[in-house]
Structure 1
Amino acid sequence: MQLFRDISLCSSLFSLFLYSISSQQRLKGHPLLWIIPSKVCSKCNAIVWKEEKVNGKKKLESYYTTCCKNGKIILPHFRRAPKRLRRLLNPSNLDAHSRRFREHIRSFNSMFCMTSHGAKIDYNVMRGKGPYTFRMHGQNYHAIRSLIPEPPNKPRYAQLCIYDTANEIENRYRSLNRTSLPSEAMEIMDKEIIVDVKLELDSVNGYVQEFRKERDFHEMNQTAEFALRLIENRNRGLSNYNRPQADDIAVLMLGDEFEENKGRDIIIKHKKKGFQRITELHPSYMPLQYPLLFPYGEDGWHMGLQNHNLNGKNRKRKKMSMKDYYAYRLQQRTTEATTLLQGGRLLQQFIVDAYAAVEEECLCWIRNNQRTLRAELYKGLCDALEAGDSNTA
């Protein structure tokens, strides 16, 4: 029951962020009542509140738009998480390892994420006595380091899959900046959890498997220059969406090959100082940052997603927006695995991250479409009004 309330709260908060409630939908004069949603969308099977429905033009016609835009948004369902990870995420599982994992899920995700999180996180608000709150400041971005760390730096993020893997468990455990050291018993438990998660990701995650290939190549060719290209425009059939194969998402490049960049592909070099930013338009943006929520490396939003064509009519908008994509993903369905929604505190971070990506996309569109918006004409009008020129002749 607690999980259901958490899922409902997160989904409703995201809906409130993204969708303005029309006067027709607004409950005027009524206090906000916390009621577990009991209705099911006939198009996508999302569990929704009765008050979220939109009345159609015809009598007795009603439908839901916050989940799937009344059938316009269709995405492949998430698969169930691998067995070990599913046990750790399950809120009904009360063993010590599962409770430890869920309580510190953001820390465990940081041990396995392959990209860094660029925004400044407000830790003060997390230490309050009220409900857990995740808040960040500044511009948000994800970035990735070179494949091999520069001496004397220790491996971080994706480097942990490639460099010094003989000590990988210890390296992952020590990768966090801890304010206090846990007890010996907690350290043993944490390392046991790390082993379980590592085994699962090694067996099912396409990104991890590709980085393991780079490890094998590096061990056999210590002096060779190489790079990894993360492919943006790749085969995305429904059968390939929920579990993309390593060969579909990335390719190893040798010598001068990696000097040539194609489109939005991301090239991660063998050795390079600093970070390389990953655009939120790339399908690997979220799965690289949240491997515990996307254990199979499922694609995130990308520019190739299309709205479903209902009844063969001409569509005004053919491309699926990032906003609609995340609104669809943050729904609980009777026909879909709840791995993403079982993330607890990590889910809260994901929602904030997704909202920041949506805002960034909107700002980018406004910046690149000034002529469409006639922003210059509007600016001239504002300048005239400020100058007191109200002559319409």
Structure 2
Amino acid sequence: MAARRAYEEPHNLGRMDVVCIHCGALHWRDEATGKPKDGFPAFGSCCNHGKVALLELPEPPPQLKQLLVAADTQATEFHSHITQYNAALAFTSLGVNNDKAINQQGQSGWVFQIQGYLYHLSGALTAPEGRAPSYSQLYIFDPAIAFRQRMHRNSDLRGDTMQTLQDMLLQLHPYTAKYRQAYEILADQDAEIQDVAVHLRVMSGQDKHRYNLPTADKVAFVLPGNGEGGLDGCPRVPEGWAPLSRISDRHPTYATLYYVLLFPRGEHGWYEDLRLNDPSRANPGRLTQSRYYAYRIFPRATKF
């Protein structure tokens, strides 16, 4: 009834407070598709009229939520540098050809303009001799060493905030343990063998009518081998060489390995086997990537 009242009351025309009856997403009144049915507005852009049904993501861990909602100096600094904190703690790096010339033309405001594609890159599990570790390599080291390395590269950030976020990810993000496990597997291999790789593979068995977030142990495992046929490789590093593997955006870890402050518990993202929620059809259609992220982006009053 709240959705119906918000739709019918004229003073709400300029407010984004009309609720989708299927998924609870907040809309402006004029986003409704067609005439209301039984007095309730219908919306398609959030959940395709109920055909997209995803489990909601959990609330942020308390230590992260405090930084997001507080009004003190620590939280203010975190808000101003949140992208830098995320990059310092990410497992993967951002691959992009940033066209910086546009910011040299004297226009107001800063513009992030790219040429070609934006993608994520995964490096080897260990850094070449003489090169400092970075990204996922830091999760293999002693946390104190990793913290010093992160602060050395980000000396303008607060140490207490970095320590809080690093401890949080070490405790909650499942891939911190999986990368250490991968490193241990490679360390057990013959040092003269250079073609050993470790791959993250998604195991089948998820509910195809509804995207249920499985536990980490049911999603990925590490596999030594020559890397043929895998999605993403973490190769051992030949001397003096540091390869980078491009991660497919079809892999469910694509987002969680880079946007660690959005998915601090290692929540998985879209992948090709997800299906629409349509009980009336024996074989519901595939849930597209754009539909998946549209659902995730919409705000909902009952969710953080």
Return the TM-score normalized by structure 2: 0.81
Q: Structure 1 residue 40 and structure 2 residue 19: aligned?
A: yes
Residue aligning to 1:16: none
CA distance in 2, matches of 1:56, 1:174: 59
Q: How many residues align?
A: 286
Residue aligning to 2:96: 119
Residue 138 to residue 195, structure 1, CA distance change in 2 (3 Å): same
CA contact (8 A) 1:68 1:328 kept: yes
Partner deviation per Cα, 1:40-85 (whole Å, 9 max, x = no partner): 0000000111110001597867400110001000111010111111
CA distance in 2, matches of 1:58, 1:35: 22
CA contact (8 A) 1:241 1:299 kept: no
Residue aligning to 1:84: 63
Residue aligning to 2:265: 296
Structure 1 position 194, deviation (Å): 1.1
Partner deviation per Cα, 1:214-248 (whole Å, 9 max, x = no partner): 45667888959664321134454599954632x33
Select the structure of larger CA radius of gyration.
Answer: 1
CA distance in 2, matches of 1:240, 1:175: 38
Structure 1 position 163, deviation (Å): 3.9
Alignment of 1:1-393 (within 5 A): 35-55=14-34, 62-90=41-69, 93-122=70-99, 125=103, 134-163=112-141, 165-175=143-153, 182=156, 190-214=158-182, 223=191, 227-236=197-206, 241-242=212-213, 244-245=215-216, 247-253=217-223, 257-259=224-226, 261-262=228-229, 265-271=231-237, 273-310=242-279, 312-313=280-281, 318-336=285-303, 338=304
- Say which SS state the counterpart of residue 139 (structure 1) adopts: strand
Residue 94 to residue 224, structure 1, CA distance change in 2 (3 Å): farther
CA contact (8 A) 2:140 2:179 kept: yes
- Say which SS state the counterpart of residue 256 (structure 2) adopts: helix
Structure 1 position 36, deviation (Å): 3.2
CA contact (8 A) 1:44 1:71 kept: yes
One-letter code aligned to 1:172: R
CA distance in 2, matches of 1:204, 1:137: 35
- Say which SS state the counterpart of residue 117 (structure 1) adopts: strand
CA contact (8 A) 2:64 2:165 kept: yes
CA contact (8 A) 2:126 2:137 kept: yes
Structure 1 position 261, deviation (Å): 3.7
One-letter code aligned to 2:215: P
Residue 57 to residue 85, structure 1, CA distance change in 2 (3 Å): closer
Structure 1 position 167, deviation (Å): 1.2
Structure 1 position 165, deviation (Å): 4.4
CA distance in 2, matches of 1:111, 1:201: 12
Residue aligning to 2:10: none
CA contact (8 A) 2:33 2:43 kept: yes
- Say which SS state the counterpart of residue 162 (structure 2) adopts: helix
Residue 293 to residue 308, structure 1, CA distance change in 2 (3 Å): same
Structure 1 position 206, deviation (Å): 1.1
CA contact (8 A) 2:237 2:243 kept: no
CA distance in 2, matches of 1:142, 1:235: 27
Structure 1 position 96, deviation (Å): 1.6
Unaligned segments of structure 1, at least 5 residues: 1-33, 339-393
One-letter code aligned to 2:167: L
CA contact (8 A) 1:156 1:175 kept: no
Return the TM-score normalized by structure 1: 0.64
Specify which structure has the higher proportion of helix: 1
One-letter code aligned to 1:278: I
CA distance in 2, matches of 1:237, 1:335: 25
Residue aligning to 1:22: none
